[in-house]
Chain A
Amino acid sequence: MEIRGGEARLTASRPALLLAAAMVTLALLAWPAPAGAKVVSGGLPQGALRFWTAARMKVARPLDLRLPGRGQISLGAPASASSAFETVPDPTLDASRVNGAIFIETPFGLGRCSGTSVNAPNYSVVFTAAHCINTGGPNGRWLDFRWVFVPGYRYGQRPFGVFPAKWIDTTRQWRTTGSENFDVGAAVVARNQRGQLLAKAVGGTGIAFGLKARQVFDVHGYPAEEPFDGETQQVCTQTPFLGHDARSFLSPGPLNLAVDCDVTGGASGGGWTISGGRVLNSVTNYGYGDDPDTDFGAYFGREVARLFQRAGRVK
């Protein structure tokens, strides 16, 4: 009897399973495969502006928890009372408004990351983590659907408007190998609703490559997992380089950097600045579940310089 009952349940649920499988397959088929930089089609940016309401921004979850294969990843324990992250009281001030939240629609839900406006010849470049652009590796997929950058975001407010992506790219090694040592991405964004170019609206940081790892960083971002909610900009100020992640020695490429900063999901791609916040020199990549107080970011070397050059040339 038990076996029959099992069969009956299976039969009853089969259409639903098939439908779910078909939907996932269709979603994946519709998801563009990587091939060089990704040009976001012309009609999409304006659709993205309409799509991202304050309510949708609020429910967007950290991207790493939205993608298949990442759901099982445990989050770090909530940050301790010695949290080094501090809320930026006014993210519209000069020093803070270059930092913003990134929102993306994926086949698995609404996702979010952090990013930074960087000065470039086209006034339109945003730097973030590569995994906020492309899932990485030879079978990686572009995350280009309704990808928008909201500088100075705070509680659903968009003081400088919303800048939809029109071009996205990552380091070449991220696309080909998915190596954590190259987790840096860039987007070129279209004008906001007011017709302004990004860097003309909020300014931009400089960007430096090939510096010594031993720097003192300000780490910016919009962490959205506890104890944060993603609605405010946070910053760990003057946090010095702790060392390299031991694991990054095992893959080719520049070694990842560690700093003391208790970020959580959603802060991915947040800028690490030096020289009083004027120069971008890394972005948040990852942390470990059993040590929520340490943040790891990519080293900005030659590959990141090439990425910046490619982004800056986009019209």
Chain B
Amino acid sequence: MRRLFALTALAASGFCFPPSFATANALDIPAAAPPQFRALLRAKLHVRPPRHGFESRFTLEAQHGYTVTVVGEGDIVVVEVSRPLSHGKRNLLEELLGFKQSVTAYVTRGTVTERRIAASFGNFGKVDVRFRPNGQVLSSGRRGRCRGADHFTSRLGVFLGGVRFSGEGGYVAVRSHRAKGRIRSPLHLDCSAPQHRSPDRRSRPVREGPSFAPTVLAASRRHGVSSLELFTLRVGKTTLFAAINEESLGSMARMRFALATAPSKKSLAYNEALTRATITPPKPFHGTGTYSAASDGATTWSGPLSVSFPGAPRLPLTGAEFKATLTTGF
């Protein structure tokens, strides 16, 4: 149930504000998410991901507790900056997705081969490293019902060369000539989940369960090649909050993601007529946002709600430029 909830939320968040008048194939639009999100969305939406290819990855530790991960896949090179906000116990989403609560990803085109990752991030820096395998090979557990490969193979080694990256205002800076990493192939497995026989329910009495009709509060502002979206999904006792900020900066895109979950009772309140709602999400969000709809259909979305991303503390999530909607059920 937890997994289903998370997947539903992610899929829904990806389609919260889809391209409108001429979307070519919404299923293959990555929901502005890091690779692990894209993989999840593709799985959820039954879009077959590319099986061939590989993913190169290494991680560097930076100051202020930031972690900088460089990922190469196809012709895409990503520098991902994150700082776990929850210390000790991992939260539900981290467990499910291996994802941090708040991430800023810098994405550009580059050269990714089994020997090299090279890309320029303009004024932010550059990556040009070569992979030297150390002979160690790790295999993931084999999966059943696969087309093609049934497991991942990771070649471990070191990336040698140069990595220089500095975030906006120097909030994070790394400079390195050597980092341990791995190259994993294939890019994706094409395996189906084992078929579980559903129990025979014919003789079971029908019981009234809790209502799982989701409630969605979405707000977004978009202008040109920059957007900021907030997505709130309440299913039963849990509410998920997601914020996505996308911006194109010349030959690079910057994407920021924040996720949090909280008990619905504490974090989301709305009236039956869906004319008023208030959210109070936990960190990395701050403050409260209030939605109200007038009888003529006009809506307002206000309050001191903000979100903190790496490199962008307290980005306002409310205001007149946001378009907000509140819906319930499918």
- On A, residues with C-beta under 8 Å from B are 62-64, 69-70, 73-77, 129-131, 135-138, 140, 174, 177-180, 183, 225, 242-247, 249-252, 255, 258, 260, 263-268, 284-294, 296
Contact = CB atoms under 8 A, between A and B. Distances in A.
A247 B224 contact: no
Interface string B63-88: 00000000000111000000000000
Nearest to B22: A268
B247 interface: yes
B29 interface: yes
Contacts of B107: 246, 249-250
A183 B19 CA distance: 13
Nearest to A292: B20
Contacts of A244: 225, 248, 251, 253
B30 interface: yes
Nearest to A113: B22
B29 A180 contact: yes
A290 B24 contact: no
B19 A178 contact: no
Contacts of A291: 222-224, 227
Contacts, number: 162
A70 B227 CA distance: 22
Nearest to B108: A249
Contact of B19 (A136, A267, A288): A288
Given A286-B19, A288-B222, A73 B26 contact: yes
A149 to B, nearest CB: 17
Interface string B245-260: 0111111111100000
A290 B220 contact: yes
Given A74-B18, A288-B19, A288-B222, 16 more contacts: A75-B20, A130-B24, A137-B25, A138-B48, A140-B25, A178-B25, A243-B248, A250-B30, A258-B224, A265-B20, A287-B21, A288-B18, A289-B19, A290-B220, A294-B225, A296-B19
Contacts of B61: none
A70 B20 CA distance: 9
B18 A243 contact: no
A250 B47 CA distance: 15
Interface in B88-125: 107-109
B323 interface: yes
B248 A245 contact: yes
A172 B46 CA distance: 21
A289 B248 contact: no
B277 interface: no
Interface string B6-26: 000000000001111111111
A135 B224 CA distance: 26
A129 B24 contact: yes
Nearest to A74: B20
A260 B225 CA distance: 10
A131 B19 CA distance: 13
A132 to B, nearest CB: 9
6 contacts: A75-B20, A180-B23, A180-B28, A242-B224, A244-B251, A288-B19
Given A180-B29, A243-B248, A285 B224 contact: no
B25 A243 contact: no
A70 B23 contact: yes
Contacts of A179: 24-25, 28
B62 interface: no
Contacts of A183: 24
B221 interface: yes
Interface residues of B, number: 45
A285 B221 contact: no
B27 A290 contact: no
Contacts of A62: 21-22
B27 A246 contact: no
A304 to B, nearest CB: 15
Interface in B283-330: 323
Nearest to A283: B22
A271 to B, nearest CB: 14
A137 B24 CA distance: 10
B255 A246 contact: yes
A265 B247 CA distance: 24
Contact of B21 (A76, A246, A249): A76
B60 interface: no
Contacts of B75: 252
Given A243-B248, A246-B225, A260-B224, A285 B17 contact: no
Contacts of A225: 21
Interface string B203-241: 000000000000000001111111100000000000000
A73 B23 contact: yes
Contacts of B74: 252
B262 interface: no
A226 to B, nearest CB: 11
Nearest to B225: A243
